[in-house]
Amino acid sequence: MNRSRCNEAAGPSAVDATAKMALEVIESFGVPCGQVSSARNGHAEQAHMMTRNWANQYGLLGDPHRQEMFDQLRYADMLAYGCTTAPPERLALFAQWFTYYFLLDDQQDLAVLTGRTEDFVALQKDLHYVFHSRGVDGSARTRNFSAAVADLCRCTAPHVSDEWWDRYVSHADEVFAAQRAENVLRLTGTFPDPEEFKVIRRRAGAADMVFDIIEACEGMEIPESIRYGSACSRYADDLNDFTTWTNDVLGVDHDAANGDPNNYVLIREHAGGLDRRTAIETVTAEIVELVANLPIRREDVRRSIGKFSVPQQIRIERSLDAWFDWAMNVPIHYMRAHGRLAQMDRARPGEPPAFTEDLLNRRSTA
């Protein structure tokens, strides 16, 4: 049986102050801590070490100090809340995909801060060709990063359907386009209309790719007719918005200090002429409303799957549960004492976080 975060926090063995604060924050977003599962794949540590080895094989992490910070970021742990039953090798493979996105996000930030957005676009083009060739076309594997992703493509292709692969690549292309849109906003200091920004933020947040990863890792792909249906799309979008908007509330001061308008709180602040505190309260209220509607979204999906066999329905519902469990744990994981937000807050304004290794132009020797 899944233990809730409430039970975890109430346990007799000393409670970490940061974990208690995270639970208080998650409840402020309208999520009773009893709805946040603490169940996590028992192979997370092994998957982390295998992910670390993969990253080091391609020189993605940098010096020992950065590798120590990578150990603190624990990306495999974060994915393990959505992939609770996968064996270690499979969890590690998809934890590497999960890590890929964070490393790409780091390169985007680095490119903007160092005036090298053209290099970032070139890296995206490499990765686009790698994805569409499933890692087989060697002409795009000129950078360490693209070579590492090509390795993931070749290892993953035998384990997924063609439909899954096409969907994953489509979501990757959406992320690339949204990242370029974010860069334009950041370089020009533009604050778009909130509704326009929601779409950019949702696509750049890459949760759709994570949902794909969870399905493949757990061996429970959702049929295309359901995944692209309006009910499932709305459910996925709301979970996606939950992960990005909560991140924006928690990271607003960091983004503001860096002049980065790609934060929903700052967008609301600018659009409504609000002070920071009121903007945070406004977005928090939107998150609470979003969370309150999630059971309705979920029931809409449940009604749409009645035509499938009982085993298929079970697999679909397991996927929906896994998406939810992962999404609810995202802000909690980010708030860890040495987590991603904490490490980003330690960086001076205008400087990339210390864990960021420069991979934009590093040439592959593989």
Please give the Cα distance from 305 to 314 (Å, whole number): 10
Beta bridge partners, 4, equal 37
Q: Would you state the pLDDT for residue 14?
A: 36
Q: Would you state the pLDDT for residue 113?
A: 95
Q: Would you state the pLDDT for residue 242?
A: 98
Angle between helices 117-132 and 144-156 (to 10 degrees): 20
Please give the Cα distance from 144 to 150 (Å, whole number): 10
pLDDT in tens, the chain (366 residues): 345 666 655 444 434 677 788 888 899 999 998 889 999 999 999 999 999 999 999 999 999 999 999 999 999 999 999 999 999 999 999 999 999 999 999 999 999 999 999 999 999 999 999 999 999 876 666 679 999 999 999 999 999 999 999 999 999 999 999 999 999 999 999 999 999 999 999 999 999 999 999 999 999 999 999 999 999 999 999 999 999 999 999 999 999 999 999 999 999 999 999 999 999 999 999 999 999 999 999 999 999 999 999 999 999 999 999 999 999 999 999 988 788 998 999 999 999 999 999 999 877 655
CATH of 5-345, one of 3.30.465.10, 1.10.600.10, 3.60.70.12, 3.90.70.10: 1.10.600.10
Q: Would you state the pLDDT for residue 1?
A: 35
Q: Would you state the pLDDT for residue 13?
A: 42
The candidate with the shortest Cα–Cα distance to 177, out of 162, 149, 199, 151, is: 199
Is-contact 179 173, C-beta < 8 A?
A: no
For residue 117, give Cα distances in angstroms to 13, 23, 364.
48, 37, 20
Q: What is the pTM of this model?
A: 0.93
Q: Would you state the pLDDT for residue 15?
A: 44
**What one-character DSSP code corresponds to residue 3?**
P
Q: Would you state the pLDDT for residue 233?
A: 97
Q: Hey, is 309 helix, strand or coil?
A: coil
Please give the Cα distance from 43 to 83 (Å, whole number): 10
Q: Would you state the pLDDT for residue 19?
A: 73
Q: Hey, is 228 helix, strand or coil?
A: coil
